[in-house]
């Protein structure tokens, strides 16, 4: 529930989470159930694929292969940058950095395949192409996650 006074906005949630203004002292993403966290990851990933495919469509829409390759590169750059901006990973060892690079490369490969399929299905319409690519990516990600590949 939101309460608004003249100065700031206060968030009131459950009794075990105390909030002051917008600074949450407890709670956040760590309180989510595993299914909710996975759903959030799929939703954010799908949104990232949609945005990167829209950018890829603007940069290279004339050729399906170049379009899919550009989309995969844009997604990889955005994914790599988001890890550092959100502070989701701390690079302490060279193996941590190599693991992040491998995750980015595998994710970009999945985006490339999803965009190639999306290009075949709806190449004439950029918005529909981006939407289909995002849906295909989400389906592939969930399927790969179910079988333990991601």
Q: What percent of the chain has pLDDT over 90?
A: 19
Q: Is it the case that residue 112 has pLDDT exceeding 90?
A: yes
The residue that leads in pLDDT, 103 or 21, is 103
Output the pTM of the full model. 0.67
Residue with tokens 């939703």: 43
Hey, which of 15-29, 104-118, 136-150 has the most confident mean pLDDT? 104-118
pLDDT at site 31: 67
Q: Is it the case that residue 136 has pLDDT exceeding 80?
A: yes
The whole-chain average pLDDT of the chain stands at: 74
Q: Is it the case that residue 16 has pLDDT exceeding 50?
A: no
């Amino acid at each position: 529930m939101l309460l608004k006074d003249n100065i700031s906005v206060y968030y009131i949630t459950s009794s075990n989470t105390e909030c002051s203004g917008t600074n949450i002292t407890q709670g956040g993403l760590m309180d989510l159930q595993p299914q909710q966290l996975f759903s959030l990851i799929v939703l954010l990933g799908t949104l990232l694929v949609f945005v990167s495919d829209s950018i890829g469509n603007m940069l290279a829409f004339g050729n399906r292969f170049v379009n899919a390759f550009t989309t995969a590169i844009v997604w990889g750059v955005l994914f790599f940058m988001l890890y550092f901006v959100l502070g989701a990973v701390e690079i302490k060892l060279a193996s941590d950095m190599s693991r992040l690079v491998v995750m980015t490369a595998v994710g970009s490969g999945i985006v490339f395949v999803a965009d190639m399929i999306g290009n075949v299905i709806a190449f004439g319409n950029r918005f529909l192409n981006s939407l289909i690519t995002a849906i295909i990516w989400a389906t592939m990600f969930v399927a790969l996650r179910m079988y333990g590949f991601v």
